[in-house]
Structure 1
Amino acid sequence: MRYVEVSTLLKNGFKPMKKTVLTMVLALPLAVWAQEGAFKIEAQIKKSNDNAKAYLSYRTGNGMEQDSAVVKKGKFTFSGTVQGPTQMTITYAPTGKLDRRAAQGADSYSLYIDKGTAKLVATDSIKNAKISGAPLSVEYAQYAKQLEKTTKGMAALDAEWYGATDEQRKDGKLAERLRGLAGPLMEEKERVQKDYLAQHPTSYFALLALQDLSGSQLDVAFAEPAFNKLSAEVKSTPAGEAFNKRIVAAKATAVGAMAPDFTQNDVNDKPVKLSDFRGKYVLLDFWASWCGPCRHENPNVVEAYHKFKDKNFTVLGVSLDNPGKKDNWLKAIADDKLEWTNVSDLQGWKNAASTLYGVRGIPQNYLIGPDGKIVASNLRGEELHKKLAELLN
């Protein structure tokens, strides 16, 4: 359940802020509510070293933020204001230093807080602390407790994978075994989250569970009824409203729906409309030069393009490359031999077309028929070839 990794904190370089000043909003969509609240975290580690320090880390819309506090007689405090429920990670460093060796087995505790005072009490390890006080923090601890088995199980599999040699990772047997072990854990996590969602319709974390269950490819048949069962208060939050927009976008891009039209510039800065391709089968392909899985899938799309391009089929690539990165986009097009029309507004994840289609993960694609209706979506590998052969041969 920990989103803020200690290794990331170290990689970026730790730069303490002015103490007790923490103005932040979490970048995750679910971490935004309406009101600003003052908070305090009071912690006590009964068996603490004299030189110990505590580090607070969290994400904001501007990236990673950190703070630190000296542990005095086993106690330390963080305080400030937040714009709504924010997930934070507290890491305890017995020697006062947070080095890479310490990060490998970091003693850390994650909590959500929006307002009020959260109290943590631990014996000698912050990760085993008991929390009280701020209701949201207590509620999150209860939610995380239900997922503890699967969280620890997945962490153990991650540790085994990253602890393996390069030869073991390349062999394939290790990955196959770990996938086999991960399957039941993911099924158990899904079961727990669905139960929580059904039993706690007024909880912020029911919405969090729903978002996690929905992933990047939202299933309207599951998500819409589940969302409708949440309380009016939860649904009316900015997080709830954002999720509702995802549902609307998913319904607009479902199989059988008319593909939403849009216009973006091609590589020569000339505007291109999706509807310009009416009369052909079009694979609307969302990708980016920086996306490894996209680049891995590109050869398959190239193969399909050459196999079916003379049978009333083409591809329209929409890149989520970032501002100022046009050269990267053009180089990837050339390197991967993407001979079809490519467009982008170079706004990264704020790409207007991807936002219109509710894209939250790439690669993602939609196969659109000559009449402008969506025929299929997320066709990968051999599935793409089979579907095109079914329609065009």
Structure 2
Amino acid sequence: MKAERSRAPQAVYIHIPFCTNKCFYCDFNSYVLKDQPVMDYLRALDREMELTVQQTPPGEIRSIFVGGGTPTVLNPQEMEFFLASVRRHFPHWSSDIEFTMEANPGTTDLDKMTVMKDGGVNRVSFGVQAFQNELLSGIGRIHNTDDVYRSLDNARAVGLNNLSIDLMFGLPNQTVEMLNYSVSRALELGLPHYSIYSLKVEENTLFHTLYHKNQLPLPSEEEELNMYLLLMERMQQAGYKQYEISNFAKPGLASRHNITYWKNEDYYGLGAGAHGYVGRQRHVNIKGVNPYVEAAKAGLPRLEQFGVSREEAMEDFVMVGLRMLDGIRKADFRKQFDEELDDVFAQPLNKMLSAGLLETHEDGEGYRLSKQGVLFGNEVFAEFIGILTV
């Protein structure tokens, strides 16, 4: 059992698929809360946790991340049931566990925040997106800026201080000046962590439909680049380290759970539509709420499960690892695969170094994106796709 525990994932992702409404850009596995069988879903999730830990017993858990949807649409009683399930099935927590829950401003009153804190949540990530109400309504958000301040006050009132907010840029009708204003308002809050993402127009969203009708007034590519340059400069000036392409933190307060993904480490994935990665096996769960609930009665609610080849794992190691601004280390690659990074990926590494999009670490023992490479990350990652698996 001890050997098994040492191999067990130390990170848990749990999906709560309910939302108050569907945002215009969202392609996540989420469903409007009204008339949904919430308790049936939470009981099914409890059952999936039970079956999962039977199959792969948990060791010491270092991070738990509850995403959605909007997990904070659960009422206090539902939240209490859910958090008790998590604690029951994953009882061994590290002393410095990071337990994050995503939240939307306006869905977090004091009662709910108290239940979250009592249930072990110690980090909250708020989906703020912008500090202009007209931009918020234009992307389908139902909160306003007053809700943001109220929600942060509620979190702090119950002793939750490890807080993060998400902002977005490249939104319809957004200007560089508007982003600058949002960044200023965000920095005034003095939070430990900020995630700032560019809008991606995804299939099966209202924005995708509008885009193809030429009815989505997006900023130009040049404006979007200027937005990214601005936010990187502003965050650096304010003392935040850019530790990943879209993420900024005060020293020691980077998102541990997200780093699990970027280091290509194992994690449990639980809930409707959740992805997991354990022992070089990836799985995707059934997406619909009722189909998930029914499937969990019979066993693990898998939509598909497949092995990841050694070659694919190597490609993943490089692609997700280079998202982090500290990049990848040769020793880590050697430890995982017993091969030399420079031998396996000589051609794309040399090409990206020559193009000035990658640079070597000072000690010569690894690689990271250059300043220019950060702006063209997707082009760099594409060079490593299919190199070994064609």
Q: TM-score, normalised on structure 2? A: 0.31
Q: TM-score, normalised on structure 1? A: 0.31
Q: Which has the higher contact order (CA 8 A, sep 6+)?
A: 2
Larger Rg: 1
